[in-house]
Amino acid sequence: LDELTVGQRFASGAYRVDAKQIIAHAREFNPQPFHLDDAAARETIFGGLAASGMHTAAITIRLLVEGGPRLAGGIIASGCEIRWPRPTRPGDVLQVKSEVLEIEPSRSRADRGFATLRSDTYNQHGEIVQTFKIKLLAPRQRSSSSAERQTPAE
Amino acid sequence: LDELTVGQRFASGAYRVDAKQIIAHAREFNPQPFHLDDAAARETIFGGLAASGMHTAAITIRLLVEGGPRLAGGIIASGCEIRWPRPTRPGDVLQVKSEVLEIEPSRSRADRGFATLRSDTYNQHGEIVQTFKIKLLAPRQRSSSSAERQTPAE
């Protein structure tokens, strides 16, 4: 937590999504026609195969874990707010751009705090497929003498 | 939309989560030690293998699709708010209990509106693993003469 500052920005790597992945995720978690089959999806409000929102959210987490803030305890969320202004489509290449919005020490625990990120997920056309506010739990060092302390990288 | 009322409640079926599923989801979307390996997870704040929050959220969607409100256009979310007060663990059996919080016609389109649900996800001990507010897009019939209209079940 001590190494994060409000306004700090992070850009993730890229993640390509194909129809096979969209359908596999939907079969397991969201078996509705517009997430399973392109022909059926054309008859719906989506007008073609679209990823489940939670698939886009899960990919966003993956991109944050790999290319977001480096926190000693890892990326651990206590909650989030999501909006999906447009769906992720087959062939889309997603990237996440994040900014630290707020940092707050825990009221009950001196060794931790929370960092709120805004993380927007873009497709290859620069369009936002997801806006995301995520509250992360972050360890906090109690004194400068422990600043070199590392948790074992397991 | 016309068939939903504020205060209406829905209880889903049950979904059992095992360690294999937790690890498979984490390998694809959240490759951090506490979601991948029980021994490594014991050294972390989770104290043992825990599902990624987005895995719990995706299971919640599955349970809503199968045992939530029946909407003509399907379960289509424009956004949501999630809190994870405790993690989903291997062997947990999840169930979702929902209540309709709000119904609002669209300001721009007469043929649709939004329904906000609160959907809490419980484990087999009756503990909440996720609280979820989800805003659903719902078709709206313009006249009573179309009340019998059905979309093809594809």
Residue of A18, A22, A29, A70 to mutate for B, most B C-beta atoms under 10 A: A29
Q: Is B63 on the interface with A (CB under 8 A)?
A: no
DSSP SS3 for A88? coil
Contacts of A20 in chain B (CB under 8 A): none
Contact B81, A80 (CB under 8 A): yes
pLDDT in tens, B20-41: 999 999 999 999 999 999 999 9
Residue B15 has pLDDT above 80, yes or no: yes
Q: Is B29 on the interface with A (CB under 8 A)?
A: yes
Q: Where are the beta strands (DSSP E) in chain A?
A: 9-16, 76-83, 93-105, 112-122, 128-139
* Angle, alpha carbons A34-A77-A85 (nearest 5°): 35
Determine whether the interchain pair A31/B65 forms a contact, defined as Cβ–Cβ distance below 8 Å: yes
> pLDDT-based confidence at B149, cuts 50/70/90?
very low
CA distance B4 to A101: 37
Determine whether the interchain pair A45/B137 forms a contact, defined as Cβ–Cβ distance below 8 Å: yes
Quick one: how far is CA B105 from the chain centroid? 22
Mean pLDDT estimate for chain B: 90
CA distance A86 to A125: 12
Q: In terms of CA atoms, which chain A residue is nearest residue B73?
A: A44
Segment B75-81 shows an average pLDDT of 96
Determine whether the interchain pair A30/B61 forms a contact, defined as Cβ–Cβ distance below 8 Å: yes
pLDDT in tens, A41-67: 999 999 999 999 999 999 999 999 998
Of B31, B58, B137, the CB nearest to A54: B58
Determine whether the interchain pair B82/A82 forms a contact, defined as Cβ–Cβ distance below 8 Å: yes
| ipTM of this predicted structure | 0.89
CA distance B90 to B32: 16
Q: Is B17 on the interface with A (CB under 8 A)?
A: no
pLDDT of residue A10: 95
Contacts of B83 in chain A (CB under 8 A): 78-79
Determine whether the interchain pair B40/A78 forms a contact, defined as Cβ–Cβ distance below 8 Å: no
Residue of A21, A82, A135 to mutate for B, most B C-beta atoms under 10 A: A82
> pLDDT-based confidence at A152, cuts 50/70/90?
very low
Residue of A27, A32, A35, A54 to mutate for B, most B C-beta atoms under 10 A: A54
pLDDT of residue A112: 86
Residue B145 has pLDDT above 50, yes or no: no
Contacts of B76 in chain A (CB under 8 A): 34, 45
